[in-house]
Amino acid sequence: MEKMPKWADVVLIPVISLLLAAVISAIVILLIGENPMEALNLMVNGALGSTYGWGYTLYYATNFLFTGLAVAVAAHAGLFNIGGEGQAMIGGLGLALVCLYIPFPHWSIALLVAAVGAGIFGAAWAAIPAYLQAKRGSHIVITTIMFNFIAAAVLNYMLVSVLKPKGAMDPATAKFPESTQLPSLHEILAPIGIEFSKSAPANVTLFVGIAACIVVWGLIWHTPLGHEIRALGKSERGAVYAGISPVRTVMITMLISGALCGLMATNNVMGEAERLVLNATEGAGFIGIAVALMGRNHPFGVFLAAILFGFLYQGGAELALWTNIPSELIVVIQALVILFTGALDNMVRMPIEKIFLAFRKENA
Amino acid sequence: MDFLTLIQVLDSTVRMATPLLLACLAGLFSERAGIFDIGLEGKMLMAAFFSAAVAAVTGNVWLGLLAGIGASMLLSGLHGLASITFRGNQLISGVALNFLASGLTVLIAESWFRQGGRTPSLLTEGRFNGIELPFAIGPSEAEAAGRPLSELIGEANVIQQIWSELISGHSILVYVAALMVPLTWWVLFRTRFGLRLRAVGENPAAVDTAGVSVRGLRFAAIGIAGVLCGIAGAYLATGLQAGFVKEMTSGRGYIALAALIFAKWRPWHALGACLLFGLLQAVALRFQSIQLGGVSIPVQVMDALPYVLTVVILAGFVGKAIPPRAGGQPYVKER
């Protein structure tokens, strides 16, 4: 017998966790001498009150879609990919190389090829930890953390010593050629009569992210490979008994996960900055963890959680602009979400299970 | 490179290795008891902020140290609540702690001091200053002679150079960290508590059967880890530097984690690993690039080397790193 209905597990528990995180954040805001209701008001207005705000919210959400999906896919195989940050950095490197050195006639072809480049680089960066986990039993959490730092060093070296144009001061590549510039939401929505802010960075990759959600959903629940991934995640011994090769499945899962992180570069590097800078990922790889936890590793949940975090990031930036609350508040909220939906899951879950059991007994 | 430069780099190595060593030993206690601790970074950062903040306000560095330890212990308690009491995922809890610390420190710093997420610079009383060992050439001799200290040391003989530059002149926390190594070894391998602590990380059910509380031992272990991370953070903000700045741990918690694996969860090896990683940091700090047999090695290689070495060790190509067997698994008491 299940302890509680599915909707409680999928909706009720994340919502309660989120409320807990929100209440504690409100207390933190009170403690630093600001008004939580005003803060919320500012965030909602700043992030959702205009197409400009929406443009930023959706831009951030697109980043988190890719990294959240990456963490979710790995989680289905029982793997905790904490290396999204590094994979996204190296994905950005792959994308920059494609955009800088291959001439493209049209942005759509550029996007396609650049996505392949970014995906391959991201997947390659996940491949070594995956191989070490699968073949040598090294813990993937530790190796992916190490690879984040190695990626930062590689990127630093490439930007400072190799890719920086002659005479430039800041460690960044040259601007990508005009033919690789992606259309923004403004340009996409204008022909169908919707006015969208010109200066907001949301762009066509939002739809790539949504497509990735659908592909991941199909992959996990409607293909043999997805079945193998989930079987491995539930029980390795059971999976082996069913004839599934753990080595092969771990490798493929991590390659997909790394590629998804790499794909993020199509949004933040190609769509927004249009050149590769040092701190392009801005921690989005780690936010993917919160997004996947919040979204219960389901693509639709990830989609909602990504929008939520996009809202938090844009709202947080607005807060920092208009009040004395630094944008680090969002990092605290993010930490609380990870804490409540991830680590303290049982604290929320146990009382709710008890309530449902009590109800069931009464009805029986 | 002359002898004095070498000694100066080694001196800097000791300073850089100290926070790594303290955090590494913290991780050692925690992981030997079966609790993975990714949150070393967060605990250090929290301790760094509160030690600097309290030292800045009260002007007393010892109160600062206490505050740092307290803050770090609080995070340890949260980690214990999540991973021991509620049997949550220890890795996720650690990740959450790191974000919590990285956000809260800036938030509180901004609210208290309004200096862009930093504490005011600490004056002499607010810091752990260098201790001058007997017979060493220190700042007082330099003042008496009216010449810079480095000149005086440069003229001294080799033994005096090693004594004055490398061994003398560190803050008390450096010597505390060094003493922690034999102490950790003794506690873990020569006391009953240590035996039980290691047992709880290998086979908690056996410890439980013997009538010893698994929870109690694990909480004790992460409590010790909290104290050590607290000292490490306080050293960063009040010894190594004069005040807290945003993200000042800059990945040291993860390097300590790497050192812990590199040392295969053993105290004396941890000392070696931390000195090695400290040396890499010291070299990266002093030289922009290193000429080695005509090839110039970029400074980024120094940054990445601790992590690369750890991955190589993890891969099992150079000896195998086997973590405590029950690491990461919450213990469910049989009913």
Instruction: ipTM value, please give it.
Output: 0.89
pTM assigned to the model: 0.90
Give the domain CATH number at A125: 1.10.3470
Give dist(CA A358, CA A353) in Å, integer. Answer: 9
Whether the predicted pLDDT of A351 surpasses 80: yes
Query: What does each C-alpha distance from A235 to A76, A78, B87, B287 come to in angstroms?
Result: 11, 9, 19, 50
Q: What is the pLDDT of residues A227-263, one digit of tens each?
A: 999 999 998 899 999 999 999 999 999 999 999 999 9
Residue A24 lies inside a defined structural domain of this protein: no
Subunit contact A335:B311, Cβ cutoff 8 A: no
How do residues B172-185 score in pLDDT, each as one tens digit?
999 999 999 999 99
**Predicted pLDDT at A2:** 63
DSSP letters, A246-261, are HHHHHHHHHHHHHHHH
Q: Are B88 and B223 in contact (CB under 8 A)?
A: no
DSSP states along B61-119: HHHHHHHHHHHHHHHHHHHHIIIIIS---HHHHHHHHHHHHHHHHHHHHHHHH-SSS-P
Residue A77 scores a pLDDT above 90:
yes
Q: Which residues in A lie closer than 8 A to residue B118 (C-beta atoms)?
A: none
pLDDT band at A292 (very low <50, low <70, confident <90, very high): very high
* Domain presence at residue A154: yes
| Lowest pLDDT segment from A4-13, A56-65, A120-129 | A4-13
Domain membership of residue B148 (yes or no) is: yes
- Residue B71 reports pLDDT greater than 90: yes
Is the dihedral angle over the CA atoms B39, B42, B43, B44 positive or is it negative? Answer: positive
Residue owning tokens 């949150």: B39
Residue A2 lies in a domain: no
Domain span at residue A282 reads 57-311
Chain B CB contacts of A141 under 8 Å are 38, 91
- Decide if A36 touches B, using CB distance below 8 A: no
User: Which residues 31-50 of chain B have a CB within 8 Å of chain A?
Assistant: 38
Would you place residue B319 in the very low, low, confident or very high pLDDT band (cuts 50, 70, 90)? low
Q: What mean pLDDT value characterizes chain A? A: 90
The answer to whether residue B133 is domain-embedded is no
- Count structural domains, chain B: 1
Given CB atoms, is A345 within the 8 Å cutoff of chain B?
Answer: yes
Contact A142 B89 (CB under 8 A): no
Please report whether residue A350 resides in a domain. Answer: no
Share of chain A above pLDDT 70, in %: 99
Say what the pLDDT of residue A181 is: 87
Nearest by CB to A153, from B97, B102, B300: name it.
B300
Q: Are B64 and B51 in contact (CB under 8 A)?
A: yes
Residue with tokens 């991780």: B27
Q: What is the CATH number of the domain that holds B271?
A: 1.10.3470
Better-predicted residue by pLDDT, A121 or A328? A121
Across the range A291-301, mean pLDDT stands at 92
pLDDT for residue A1: 47
Per-residue pLDDT tens over the stretch A25-60? 999 989 888 889 999 999 999 999 889 999 999 999
Cβ proximity of B217 and B207 under 8 Å: yes
Closest CA to A79 of A131, A18, A116, A149: A131
Whether A49 is covered by a domain: the verdict is no
> What is the percent of chain B where pLDDT is above 70?
96
pLDDT per residue as tens digits for the range B201-254? 999 999 999 999 999 999 999 999 999 999 999 999 999 888 999 989 888 999
Range of the domain at B39: 3-127+138-314
> Which residue in the block uniquely carries the two structure tokens 């896919």?
A73
pLDDT of residue B189: 95
Domain count for chain A: 1
A330 within domain boundaries = no
Question: What is residue B318's predicted lDDT score, i.e. its pLDDT?
Answer: 62
> Does the structure show a pLDDT above 80 at B2?
no
Q: Is B304 on the interface with A (CB under 8 A)?
A: yes
B312 touches A: beta carbon within 8 Å: no
In a domain, B295, yes or no: yes
Mean pLDDT lowest among A99-108, B138-147, B223-232: B138-147
Is the pLDDT at A157 greater than 80, yes or no? yes
Q: Which of B92, B245, B277, B308 to substitute to test the interface with A, most A CBs within 10 Å?
A: B92
Looking at residues B262-285, what average pLDDT do you find? Answer: 90
Residue pair A60/A310 in contact (Cβ under 8 Å)? The answer is yes
A207 pLDDT above the threshold of 90: yes
* B271 has pLDDT over 50: yes
Q: State whether residue B256 sits within 8 Å of chain A by CB.
A: no
Contact criterion met (CB below 8 Å) for B75 and B97: yes
Write the CB contacts of B331 (distance below 8 Å, at least 6 apart in sequence): B34, B84, B87, B204, B205, B208, B214, B215, B218
Amino acid A280: pLDDT? 87
Nearest alpha-carbon partner for B281 in B3, B45, B24, B9: B9
**Cross-chain CB nearest to B314 (options A132, A150, A343):** A132
Cα separation, A204 vs A111, in Å, equals 10
Q: How far is CA A184 from the centre of its chain?
A: 20
Which of these, B226, B251, B252, B219, lies nearest to B50 by C-alpha position?
Answer: B226
Stretch A75-102: mean pLDDT, rounded? 94
User: Are A141 and A286 spatial neighbours (Cβ–Cβ below 8 Å)?
Assistant: no
pLDDT of residue B195: 95
Across the range B284-295, mean pLDDT stands at 73
Give the count of beta carbons closer than 10 Å to the beta carbon of residue A34: 17
Average the pLDDT over B195-204 and give the result: 93
Better-scored residue on pLDDT, B139 or A158? A158
Contact status of B318 with chain A (Cβ, < 8 Å): no
Residues A328, B117: C-beta atoms closer than 8 Å: yes
H-run or E-run covering B290 = strand B289-292
Identify whether A76 is part of a domain: yes
Q: Kindly tell me the sign of the dihedral angle through the C-alpha atoms of B139, B141, B144, B149.
A: negative
Residue keyed to tokens 């960063």: B236
